[in-house]
Amino acid sequence: MATIPHKPEWLRVKIPSGDTFRQVDAVLAQRRLHTVCQEARCPNKAECWGGGTATFMLMGDVCTRNCRFCAVAGAREGVPLRAGEGADIALAAAELGLSYVVLTSVDRDDLADRGAGHFASCVRSIREQLPGVKTEALIPDYTAAELTCFAASLPDVIAHNVETVRSLQWIRDSRASFDKSLATLRAAKALGALTKTSLMLGLGEKEAEVLAAMDELRLAGVDILVLGHYLQPTQKQLPVVEYIPPAQFDAYAEAGKRKGFASVVAAPLARTSYHAREAAEPSAA
């Protein structure tokens, strides 16, 4: 049996606290909203909520897929969709004073359009109620046809995660693949949005594989790349294979910039929506 490495100090996070953190928690509870910060046990919850930001998770807290790295609850069917979800998120964003709203969702393979229409309607609600606020949509692996519903109210950034290198795609649900994800990113780029994806490190990938994945992502037109360290959420998920030092993240960031990404966020605790507004700004290029 392989020995699980000891978590280094630079991957330890502080306990959530503070008035702003409690305000975010209260607003989310009042509006009956879910966040990926809570459901996926994101290590940046203390920092982001302490700064008054959160990533809203649409269509409930039950996912129809079963990825081996994810702590979000799974089942064959998700919860009923809530018609006013987009409006409630807009109200919460206004209460929190957000200028940049990040939306993600569980996978909803139990729905005819896999939830694309509901996702797009939530973006539209925020656009209509908060016209000065920018939006980022971290979407499932929607097809080009499913993505057309976003055309009428295009998010500023459309993100979709390939999650890991080609050789490790088995950690995802069997319905996902690197090629399907590339197709989603190409289709999102064709709509005219900035596109973004993330890779998790520490699962046994080789450096050459990470660099090769970068090349494929650039060929698909991806603008923003995020590299973060995988952390085992609970004992039910995959263990970490090795801990990648911060210096290697720095090296990957430099490689990504040389390959032409407009922005690269690479740090052990980085996640797709971590410092999302800064990554999407032209000055970040």
| Contact criterion met (CB below 8 Å) for 232 and 194 | no
pLDDT digits (tens, 9 = 90+) for 22-73: 666 666 666 666 665 554 455 554 555 445 456 788 998 899 999 998 888 8
In a domain, 48, yes or no: yes
List the one residue out of 3, 65, 4 whose CA is nearest residue 231: 4
In sequence order, the β-bridge partners of residue 195 are 158
In a domain, 171, yes or no: yes
In a domain, 239, yes or no: yes
In a domain, 5, yes or no: no
Highest averaged pLDDT of the listed ranges 33-37, 92-96, 224-228, 273-277: 224-228
In a domain, 2, yes or no: no
In a domain, 10, yes or no: no
Q: Which residue has the higher pLDDT, 79 or 5?
A: 79
Residue 89: what residue type?
Answer: I
For residue 133, the model assigns a pLDDT of: 87
- Structural domain count of the chain: 1
The domain containing residue 230 runs over which residues? Answer: 19-284
In a domain, 37, yes or no: yes
In a domain, 9, yes or no: no
- The CATH number of whichever domain residue 128 belongs to comes to 3.20.20.70
pLDDT digits (tens, 9 = 90+) for 194-203: 999 999 999 9
